[in-house]
Amino acid sequence: MQVKVNLKFNHFLYVLGLIVLLSLSHCKKEAVPEAYKPTNSHDAYIHSLRMADLAHTALGGDWILASETALREPVEIETPYEEAFYVDQAAAFAAAFRFHVKRGQRTEIDVVFQGQRRCRLFMDLFRVQGSTIEEWKLVASANEKEKHLEFEPRGDAEYVVRLQPELLRGGRFNVVIRTVASLEFPVVGYDSGSIGSGFGAPRDGGRRRHHGVDIFAPRHTPVHAPSKAYVRHVGESDRGGRNIWLYDSKRLLYFYFAHLQTQDVIEGTYVEARQEIGTVGNTGNARRTPPHLHFGIYVQGEGPIDPYNYINKINSVPEDIRADLEMLGRWVRSKDQKIYLKTSLNSGPQHMTQLDRYSAMKVRAAASNMYRVNLPDGISGYVPAHSVELAEEILEYRQADHIHMVMDSPMEHAVIMEQIGTGEEFSILGQFEEFWLVQTNQGTVGWLSVSAAESIPSSNQ
């Protein structure tokens, strides 16, 4: 009897295991992959390229590579900054800028297209953290239609903004990057030059520190709300005299106004930025000092912070672009005996590369009195606008003593554009390493390999 029971039980386990196995197999076949959810429009665009089998094409692959390269090699700038670009619609393009922003400041980035129909432009902002771009944090992306991005950091940090138009779209556009104070100055008609005592200054013989800034102005000078805020408290104390507390829920900041002569708001109401809330006085423990506003900023869980960068108005007008914008998108050559390619407008000698005379390069952008150029090998940098000229005036005529192949780039295995036969003339427009930039009798502009025995033209003929 015991044997029969064991056999039945073993048979039951076998059948149960088979059912579970078939069930798992069936579930595996029916498993549905989780839908792709892009975190930003740039990633969504790359996903669409892959879904359309375009990511593996030459142009699609170049577009993805350009986006990664721009992040890895951003141009370091100081704000305010403006640069004008030319984008060839037949080539992949991306640009990135790296800059520093202080807590309390707001950075505004605007892109304006010049004279052509709008295209999708991906504008993404990253906070630099860690040693690789994979560790950077995407903190903001612009609306594809508005072409405007602004942000206020929670602390001093380095940021990189990347700009990249969609495939097969080109033309000219300007990018302007500026940094401004995130709040309105609280005393009407005055600025940070009127601050007579800064944050952290000793008080009571060093027993405490100043938790704000003192802005000196005549009695009854209007005091404005620095932003839209909620009036949390209107009162009076021995130290602060007549005072007001506002709360900015957007920034999670508390504003403290002390020593007021008058209080012109009602507790429990809202005020708009630049709305008058009171006037400058010297009430409280300031009665023996000239009239001034004590202005403080507090963060819940952190306490008082320095208000200076929040209200200090700094120059937000970028330097004018003085370089000739007609050169954008065109081949130029160095006209000086020595010309240096810089990694940025402000880079030092350690970040320069010397170029030979008549070195050919293509102008991609202009900023201040400099051109951003691409060398034929893909290296990018800035050169003084006055040091280059259009590569159109012929440097020298040559007659081919053997067959030459005109190529689309000065590289091995480049695509052959045209053949120059023995005895045919061609003109030299510029050079790069062991190649000439030439123009054939048919009007084709391309690259021709120079043998070691041939010399590069040294002067105009």
**CATH code of the domain in which 236 resides:** 2.70.70.10
Is 22's pLDDT higher than 60? no
289 domain-assigned: yes
Buried b (16+ CB within 10 A) or exposed e, 65-76: ebbeebbeebbb
Q: Which whole number is the average pLDDT over 303-329?
A: 96
81 and 197 both lie in a single domain: no
DSSP 276: E
167 and 197 both lie in a single domain: no
Q: Which of 390, 422, 440 is the last residue of a domain?
A: 390
404 and 342 both lie in a single domain: no
52 and 164 both lie in a single domain: yes
Q: Which whole number is the average pLDDT over 426-432?
A: 94
Q: What angle is formed at CA 333 by the lines to CA 329 and CA 339, rounded to 5 degrees? A: 120
* Distances, alpha carbon 37 to alpha carbons 41, 54, 123, in Å: 11, 19, 19
Q: Which whole number is the average pLDDT over 84-102?
A: 93
Q: Which of 311, 333, 353 is the last residue of a domain?
A: 311
332 and 374 both lie in a single domain: yes
143 domain-assigned: yes
Q: Which whole number is the average pLDDT over 41-47?
A: 88
**CATH code of the domain in which 419 resides:** 2.30.30.40
Give the gyration radius of the chain's Cα atoms. 33
Is 192's pLDDT higher than 50? yes
- CA pair distance 146, 132, nearest whole angstrom: 30
Structure tokens at 412: 């091995």
26 domain-assigned: no
The per-residue pLDDT for 311 is: 98
Q: Which whole number is the average pLDDT over 427-444?
A: 93
Neighbours of 350 (CB within 10 A): 6
21 domain-assigned: no
59 and 146 both lie in a single domain: yes
Task: Give the range of the structural domain holding residue 59, as residue numbers without chain letter.
Answer: 41-180
34 domain-assigned: no
138 and 215 both lie in a single domain: no
443 and 386 both lie in a single domain: no
159 domain-assigned: yes
303 and 200 both lie in a single domain: yes
411 and 332 both lie in a single domain: no
State the total domains in the chain.
4
Residue 267's closest CA among 241, 294, 232? 232
pLDDT tens digits along 262-282: 999 999 999 999 999 999 999
- CA pair distance 122, 435, nearest whole angstrom: 36
386 and 403 both lie in a single domain: no
Q: Which of 280, 311, 342 is the last residue of a domain?
A: 311
- CA pair distance 183, 314, nearest whole angstrom: 12
Structure tokens at 444: 């084709």
Selected residue with higher pLDDT from 337 and 121 = 121
> Confidence class of residue 308 from pLDDT cuts 50, 70 and 90?
very high
**CATH code of the domain in which 111 resides:** 2.60.120.380
Lowest mean pLDDT among 218-222, 253-257, 400-404: 400-404
- CA pair distance 406, 401, nearest whole angstrom: 15
454 domain-assigned: no
Q: Which whole number is the average pLDDT over 101-129?
A: 89
Is 31's pLDDT higher than 90? no
96 and 218 both lie in a single domain: no
List, in sequence order, every residue forming a beta bridge with 233; answer none if it has no partner: 245
The gap from C-alpha 296 to its chain's centroid, in whole angstroms, comes to: 31
Selected residue with higher pLDDT from 460 and 244 = 244
- CA pair distance 254, 170, nearest whole angstrom: 46
